[in-house]
Structure 1
């Protein structure tokens, strides 16, 4: 459990945690704990947002600052995976060539557009959320970040193969029992009700939308590349978290 938590923290944050044992058993624990790490990160981002609001920062500026903090807290690793995955999806190349595109260090036009749209959507959603009561801000950010990491748990469920014999995808693919996703989604959906007490149904809808996007990305990656990679996990995380945040901001 301790090694799994360390792996989860080093995979999803920039915390300087000393690495422990790394194998598929540890990877399973890390992927199961991914939503917990996301909730903790969301709580920290909510604290930053509320401090900025207390200091009198305009909501759009505070939104940019919170998104920038989230990027720094994750080394932009997941955004890089999003850009690489979208470039590969849009390449019309066969599986081997598409995987080679994902490994390249440059970003193509599809990836650039994807980054602009996702980051723009996050800032716009936060601009709408930040003037709300503190509990609503906390619930929104923790649920969005938690659902983003739940997307990785979903993608690593048993039955989903890895696209390559090496890399992060090979380490974590197929390690998580499928039943783990449901209780985590239910807890996040319940917490999401606090994002808008007048419309408590919005929390479950937002989480369901995020999970649906994660499932679609994973399914598309499996059919397109033969399985998941570290990049496709990053893409699922960013898209699921953004969609959840956008729905909660409505």
Structure 2
């Protein structure tokens, strides 16, 4: 259970105390990440429905739910998305991109990417409000899909782009089949909950993560902790938009 505890410590604001992570425990934490994502997503779905029940307009409820998720994860994933966007947007060799990502400031690429990604998530959540309690399951599915992306970014054969930090701790720690196994399980869950739209939500997110991982590996010379956050946000956004595009969940669910 050390991997589960470390996953909670890394991925949430919960005050879970852990020792300095060994490589084996860190690898286990990445495998537990989708479960943590599902819990966070379910909590976010509860916030969304609770706000809606209080009469908060769907658009405001969606935006506040995005804010809740950012707070519940210490903003790490959105920070990774912003830094990755700035790194990909700059000119120069990989060392230049990594320097930009370490800078800590938010450049124009980061700002635009955050506005688009978080705004899209908020709009998708607002569109899920009419689904009622089905929305909770949908947001949980999207949260799990986002964290399943970590295993693909950390697959063997992809080195750390720089020494030190979270990326170096978990780089290459996952067998190639771990992420596909999670995606398959989530697609089955999506099929039972949302029909083929649920399967498509996982599939589109997985494809986007594969493309992002391939591009960032070439651009940065490997993976970083920021890429983990970016992959999680990309997969989550893709899943939410797909689930929300055609209206509420199937009537037979």
Q: TM-score range by the shorter chain?
A: over 0.9
1:240 to 224, 229, 235: 235
Deviation at 1:161, TM superposition (A): 1.0
Residue correspondence of structure 1 range 141-220 to structure 2 within 5 A: 141-193=139-191, 195-196=193-194, 200-220=195-215
CA distance in structure 2 between the aligned counterparts of 1:53 and 1:187, rounded to whole angstroms: 30
**1:13 equivalenced with 2:21 (yes/no):** no
Query: How far, CA to CA, are the matches of 1:175 and 1:181 in structure 2?
Result: 12
Aligned length: 245
Distance in 1 (alpha carbons) for counterparts of 2:53 and 2:189: 24
CA distance in 2, matches of 1:104, 1:202: 40
Q: 1:154 Cα shift?
A: 1.2
Secondary structure of the 2:92 match is coil
Q: Is the 8 A contact 2:63 2:119 kept in 1?
A: no
* TM-score, length of structure 2 as denominator length: 0.93
Match of 1:29 in 2: 28
Aligned counterparts of 2:137 and 2:42: Cα–Cα separation in 1: 8
Q: SS at the partner of 1:17? A: coil
Deviation at 1:20, TM superposition (A): 2.5
| Native 8 Å contact 1:139 1:191 kept in 2 | no
CA contact (8 A) 2:139 2:240 kept: yes
Q: How do residues 58-69 of structure 1 correspond to structure 2 at under 5 angstroms?
A: 58-69=57-68
Runs (4+) of structure 1 exceeding 4 A deviation are: none
Deviations 1:74-130 (A, max 9, x none): 111111111111111010221111100000011100000000000110011011101
Q: Distance in 2 between matches of 1:214 and 1:159?
A: 16
- State the TM-score, normalizing by the size of structure 1: 0.95
Q: Which residue of 2 aligns with 1:101?
A: 100
Q: Are the equivalent residues in 2 in contact too, given 1:161–1:173 (CA < 8 A)?
A: yes
Structure 1 stretches lacking a partner, 5+ long: none
Tell me, which stretches of 5 or more residues in structure 2 are unaligned? 246-253
